[in-house]
Amino acid sequence: MHEFIDALPKVELHVHLVGSASVPTVLELARRHPDGPVPASEAELRDFYRFRDFPHFIEVYQAVNALVRDPEDVATLVLGTARDLAAQNARYVELTVTPHSHRLVGMAPAAVTEALDTAARQAREQHGVQMAYIFDIPAGLPGDIIGGTLDQALNHPPEALVGFGLGGLEQARAGHTEAIRDAFRAARAAGLRSLPHAGEMTGPETIWEAVEELGAERIGHGLSCVQDPKLVAHLRETQIPLEVCPTSNVCTGQIPDVASHPLPTMLAEGLFVTLNSDDPPMFDTTLTGEYRVVADTFGLGREELAALARNAVTASSLDEKGKRAITADIDALLAT
């Protein structure tokens, strides 16, 4: 089964630029910026990635983000992600970028965009991976920062920008609801897809908010949807894709172990599920590893794993020609 998973053509829909940085990439950045807060040895870095809870994960994430100081660092992260995912037979990636993080260290929006565009071209040329981008708002920030993210998405977008997202602590969204809603309305009017996180560390109410007020076309995580039968019915009827990240949910303390994940319930209820890695090196996983762990834990077979891979293709922002090509390769592997 693991050989089948390794060979399975894959699409990654839920992975963060900074969180995707592998240990070698982070070590390269830490040595490039030795005054930063991140350990510069592999053993210390792996220990650094042991999280007590979600707030501690955010602290570590911000520390790694502090190493990303210029456009060259941004490009290094994108190419590292493309390299790592290409080795897992990933064909297409939607990479979440948080523009505010780069503004904080003085990077001009146009310079960030140029780095993203250049890295996307190099990822295709060097690794055969097609990169797309999602700009997200880190929750709990003042309205001017929300507006700054929107401004960059509308006025300085990379060529491959496909969506507008919302991440961070879900509990911190209170007090910024209207500003977030306004930003998503403007982004959607400009043709960007609505791709917020919801229901990761809060209840079904944040998923309802994402669906009803943000016009969500996919839900990042959606873990708590199973707590609300009415919401489950709605998600089943509309087939809004859920970007499920099992290992992430364990590492940030949302569930005690993978066996406790509601993935089997989601599948049994007929929900549209995709598998993703979120922040893979920080959680000691990979996209391939997520397929392996659900196969091993829940006994999923080739057909079910191929269906999850097809779902990710369908839920992606690829054009129809690109979707048909990857789907055909999935079906060809399944037929062997």
- Residue 189: which residues within 8 A CB-CB, separation 6 or more? none
Structure tokens at 19: 């969180």
Active site residue 269: no
Q: Where are the alpha helices (DSSP H) in the chain?
A: 2-7, 23-32, 42-48, 54-65, 71-86, 99-104, 109-127, 143-155, 177-189, 204-212, 229-238, 246-251, 263-268, 287-298, 302-315, 320-335
Task: Quote the crossing angle between the two packed helices 204-212 and 229-238, to the nearest 10°.
Answer: 40
Can you say whether the dihedral through the CA atoms of 6, 268, 277, 261 is positive or negative? negative
Structure tokens at 43: 């053993």
Here the tokens at position 65 are 């983000």
**315: nearest Cα among 246, 220, 245, 181:** 220
Question: Containing H/E element for 14?
Answer: strand 10-16
Choose the catalytic residue: 12, 28, 200, 290.
200
Separation in Å, CA 176 to CA 142, 144, 146: 7, 11, 9
Cα 112 to Cα 172: distance, rounded to the nearest angstrom: 27
List active site positions: 200
